[in-house]
Structure 1
Amino acid sequence: MARNAFEWTETPQFPPTHYVDTAIYTNDQLFREEQQKIFNKCWIIACHESELPNAFDYRTFNHPGGAPLIVVRGEDMQIRSFYNICPHRGNTLLYDPVGNAKRITCIFHAWSFNTTGDCIDISRGKQGYQERFGCEKAGLREVKTGVACGGFVWVNTDDDCCSLKEYIGDAMELLDGHLDAPLEVFHYHKAIVNTNYKLWHDTNSEFYHDYMHYFNRITGMIQPGYFDRKYTGYPNGHASVGSMAIKYDAYEGSKQRGVGWPGLAPGGWVLIDMFPGMTYNLRTSVLRMDTAIPLGPNKLLIEFRGLGLKSDTPEERAERVRDHNQIWGPFGRNLHEDLLGVHGQGLAMREGTDSKWVIHGREENMTIHDEGGMRHFYAEWSKRMGRLASAPFDETTLT
């Protein structure tokens, strides 16, 4: 055996809560289990209400559990979600990612539905089905939907799930008072990365990776209070990181932000990770929302949204956009570095190395570089999956 090769396969000398088996990032069977046991059971953010401003506006959403969905605002201005599947032959109903439709008509046999999910027309229905089958038996399959926590639209494909309020619990308490004003999405883009969704959430869950960000080291890590921020874990796998003030003018060419955020101290920063793959990141003047949508064990779609206040003047909105793009836009300081980081981790695990474990063992009294947020996530993952994240793949029960 080559020198130090045993270190790649030897079980780490940590409690089993402090490391994970790399199979959880790469194994296709485990990913299919995650779809059924996690994504199809949890509340997931599909979009923001401002993306559906008018009656009959819709967005399609590829749910991470695998189901194609339609999120639509009805004539009554209520937002509902349905499977994007015609109940007749299982054909896709809406192909465009966004649009406006008073009636949803299947291109295959022209069955039509309204935005409350009722079937309103079956082509040549009487001739074909007589009295045996009619519109009343052919509605769209509805999915539980709620709007909460800053106007985001949450969906759950489990008919027997807990309420959205129960699922969130107290996890959003650090943002109390900061999300009361109506918000509006001003920036949307997506990235498809060759990585596992948990590696992206890991990066959002721990700030030891700030060493990767020059901008963060200057404006945050060397500023007072950075290392005092505390992780707090909540039921259902959610976690938050305490606030601090970012000193933007410490970075050459930057300046302190002139536009603030309701109730947030100047330079304030709050981050909340919602299980299994959503992150609220409120930083001084902009709210960024990340939503991780796995396309497979080794491919991830990440949706990024930047939000401001709906009441912004054109001048305020322009400043928020500048603030957002300096660090979070596609050409900003931070985002591409994070994407490179998670892509690199995924490559190492997929390329046939002997690496067997990923260590989450840093302990710093649950402060900012403690990996307690990741341990909290994998405790919830283990509970829902019925297996320890650190257990060899063939062990299917918790120990």
Structure 2
Amino acid sequence: MARNSIEWKEVPNFPTSHFVETSIYTDEGLFREEQDKIFNKCWIIACHESEIPNPFDYRTFQHPGGAPLIVIRGEDMKVRSFYNICPHRGNTLLYEPVGNAKRITCIFHAWSFDSMGDCVDISRGKQGYQDRFDCQHAGLREVKTEVGYGGFAWVNVDDDSCTLKEYIGDAMGMLDEHLSEPLEVFHYHRAVVNTNYKLWHDTNSEFYHDYMHYFNRITGMIQPGYFDRKYTGYPNGHASVGSMSIKYDAYEGSKERGVGWPGLAPGGWVLIDIFPGMTYNLRTSVLRMDTAIPLGPNKLMIEFRGLGLKRDTPAERAERIRDHNTIWGPFGRNLHEDLLGCHGQGLAMRERTDSKWVLHGREENMTIHDEGGMRHFYAEWSRRMGRKAYDPYGQIKEQAVA
């Protein structure tokens, strides 16, 4: 057997922060633990306020911790979230992904609830329960909800969680001035990929994989300052990649962008990763928001939103849509390659028996091709899980990784 194939079986000769064990991508038990210790404790983006602009507008949301939720704008215009579960017999209340419901009525026994989550009617309630039980005992189970950081509706199913502001900390500082105006979603799509959510987050956390993208190589990597962008890690696992300007007209057939973004330089690019799986990606004229929602250890749903300014004229909005669809959206020049990359990782990881580890070992002074972003991510993962990402089941002898 060739020596290099033997080395695949050995503990990598790197600091333990620079590699992870492959079971963290495939193990069903670890995934269930992640749902409990990570997703059920973190703030997660459920939708954008522009998707529910009117009283009684709602969206259903499959929380990555497993709970089905309703995000609804009340008659008082406040955005609230509730479990999409009737408190009577646990039936699903709303089946459509979007809609408008002044009254939410369960199809099972016709119990009804208003947009504030209060029960407003129990069919034959007096006859069946007399004075023992009535509407005041049957409200919907509310979930913590805050709107912020670009108008997104964030939810947290942990009643004892910190505030959204405390969770984000200073991580959004680079985008603050660019999110000062009301935004509006003009494009939504989702992709379901046979991979682990951490592998998708990897594509948003390191740019060594720009070698996979022809378009990025000729519009970004050749530009002055590309290799100087610095990673900055923040508490709670968040990270940002320093901004730069991209020369999009370097690609034959491209043209100078006809519309920009408040406070952003022409061709500007700012990217911020929010733990455990959300990415703000502002490029020139469009904000793209990615939200990773794991459906299992080996299956991932990613929600993609393209956003412009609410005040856009029809011509400005058309230009943003064009930019999104031809460059950054699902029909653009590199998103499909990202999806193919993490899909291939997911397929191979489940069959990977020759090696137990994945390296995050590149060191380039925390610049853009340094893998410090993922090392920062896995340090937070390990802290929340109470496990070592490089040895989640404590099977490596300490002297082997000293």
Give the percent of matched residue pairs that are identical in Structure 1 and Structure 2: 84
- Report what 2:282 is aligned to: 282
**Contact residue 231 and residue 241 of structure 2 kept, 8 A:** yes
Q: CA deviation at 1:355?
A: 2.0
Q: Kindly provide the amino acid, as one letter, of the partner of residue 301 in structure 2.
A: L
Classify 1:215/1:373 alpha carbon distance in 2 versus 1 (closer, same or farther; 3 Å).
same
Give the aligned partner of residue 158 of structure 1: 158
Q: Note if 1:393 corresponds to 2:396.
A: no
What is aligned with 1:212? Answer: 212
Distance 2:203 2:332 in 1: 17
Contact 1:86 1:140 in 2 (8 A): yes
Are the aligned partners of 2:259 and 2:319 in contact in 1 as well (CA < 8 Å)?
yes
Aligned to 1:18: 18
Aligned partners of 2:203 and 2:329: how far apart in 1?
17
Q: Tell me the secondary structure at the aligned position of residue 140 of structure 1.
A: coil
Contact 1:240 1:272 in 2 (8 A): yes
Cα distance in 1 for partners of 2:317, 2:348 equals 41
Q: Which moved more, 1:251-260 or 1:308-317?
A: 251-260
Deviations 1:98-135 (A, max 9, x none): 00000100000000000101000000000000000110
* 8 Å contact from structure 2 (residues 24, 392) kept in 1: no
Matches within 5 A, 1:1-399: 1=1, 4-394=4-394
**Structure 2: gaps (5+ residues):** none
1:326 Cα deviation after fit: 1.3
CA shift for structure 1 position 330: 1.9
Distance across 1 between alignment mates of 2:203 and 2:330: 18
1:209, CA displacement in angstroms?
A: 0.3
TM-score of the pair, normalised by structure 1: 0.98
Cα distance between partner residues in 1 of 2:203 and 2:180: 28
**Preserved CA contact (<8 Å) 2:204 2:273:** yes
> Deviations 1:215-248 (Å, cap 9, x if unpaired)?
1111100110100100000000000001000001
| Cα root mean square deviation, aligned | 1.3
CA contact (8 A) 1:245 1:265 kept: yes
SS of 2:177's equivalent in the other structure is: coil
Pairwise CA distance, 1:287? 0.1
Please tell me whether the aligned partners of residues 241 and 271 of structure 1 are also in contact (alpha carbons under 8 angstroms): yes
Shift, 1:353, TM fit = 3.0
Give the alignment's TM-score, normalised by structure 2. Answer: 0.97
Report how many residues are paired: 398
CA contact (8 A) 1:387 1:395 kept: no
Q: How much does 1:23 deviate?
A: 0.2
- SS state at 1:9 partner: coil
Note if contact 1:349-1:355 (Cα within 8 Å) is conserved in structure 2. no
Per-residue deviation, 1:268 = 0.4
Counterpart Cα distance in 1 of 2:9 and 2:136: 60
Q: Which amino acid aligns with 2:161?
A: C
CA contact (8 A) 1:21 1:393 kept: no
Q: How many angstroms does 1:351 deviate by?
A: 1.9
After superposition, what is the alpha-carbon deviation per residue over 1:53-74, rounded to whole angstroms, capped at 9, x for unaligned?
1000000000000000000000
What is the alpha-carbon distance in structure 1 between the residues aligned to residue 125 and residue 11 of structure 2?
65
* Structure 2 residue matching 1:293: 3-state secondary structure: strand
Using the alignment, how far apart are the partners of 2:214 and 2:19 within structure 1? 28
Which amino acid in 2 is paired with 1:119? C
Q: Matches of 1:257 and 1:377 in 2, distance apart?
A: 34
Distance 2:325 2:369 in 1: 26
Aligned equivalents of 1:3 and 1:395: distance in 2?
24
Could you tell me how far apart the structure 1 residues matched to 2:152 and 2:256 are?
Answer: 29
1:240-275, Cα deviation, whole Å (9 max, x unpaired): 001000001111111221201000011100000000
Q: Which amino acid aligns with 1:215?
A: F
- What is the CA distance between 1:5 and its match in structure 2? 2.4
CA distance in 2, matches of 1:35, 1:118: 28
CA distance in 2, matches of 1:159, 1:6: 49
Instruction: Write the distance in 1 (CA, Å) between the matches of 2:261 and 2:215.
Output: 21
Q: Which amino acid in structure 1 is aligned with residue 336 of structure 2?
A: H
- The whole-number CA distance in structure 2 between the counterparts of 1:236 and 1:277 is 12
Conserved 8 A contact 1:68-1:85: yes
Name the SS of the counterpart of 2:358 in structure 1: strand
Distance 2:394 2:93 in 1: 40
SS at match of 2:220: helix
Contact residue 192 and residue 299 of structure 2 kept, 8 A: yes
In structure 1, the gaps of 5 or more residues are none
Find the aligned partners of 2:9 and 2:124 in 1 and give their Cα distance: 65
| TM-aligned CA distance change 1:168 to 1:69, over 3 Å | same
Are the equivalent residues in 1 in contact too, given 2:249–2:255 (CA < 8 A)? yes
